[in-house]
Amino acid sequence: MTTRDVPAQIGDLPPIGRPANSALLQAGVTTLSGVAERTRGELLAMHGVGPKAMRILEAALEQHGLGFADDGPGR
């Protein structure tokens, strides 16, 4: 699948760009709750997910009262 074949937005995810969308789709992540099940490291290790996509995802998670899996107590 090329990035041209990837939708600009997936599920309730914010628009983060086609390369990041492609990486999340390949990992089976199509919702913010799915993003919240992953650690920052897991997401950043995906080819196409970079710092900009992470900032956008983090803001969207915060708006919905969610966080990354490694954002536990004391973080």
With pLDDT > 90 as the criterion, what percentage of the chain qualifies?
76
Residue 17: inside a domain:
yes
Structure confidence by residue, pLDDT tens digits, 48-60: 999 999 999 999 9
Any domain includes 73: no
Kindly state whether residue 20 falls inside one of the protein's structural domains: yes
Has residue 18 been placed in a domain? yes
Taking the model in full, what pTM does it have?
0.85
| Residue 74 belongs to some domain of the structure | no
- How many domains are there within the chain? 1
pLDDT band at 9 (very low <50, low <70, confident <90, very high): confident
* CATH number of the domain enclosing 16: 1.10.150
Write out the residue range of the structural domain in which residue 57 sits.
3-63
The answer to whether position 24 is within a domain reads yes
Give DSSP secondary structure letters for the chain: --GGGS-SS-TT-----HHHHHHHHHTT--SHHHHHTS-HHHHHTSTT--HHHHHHHHHHHHHTT---TT--TT-
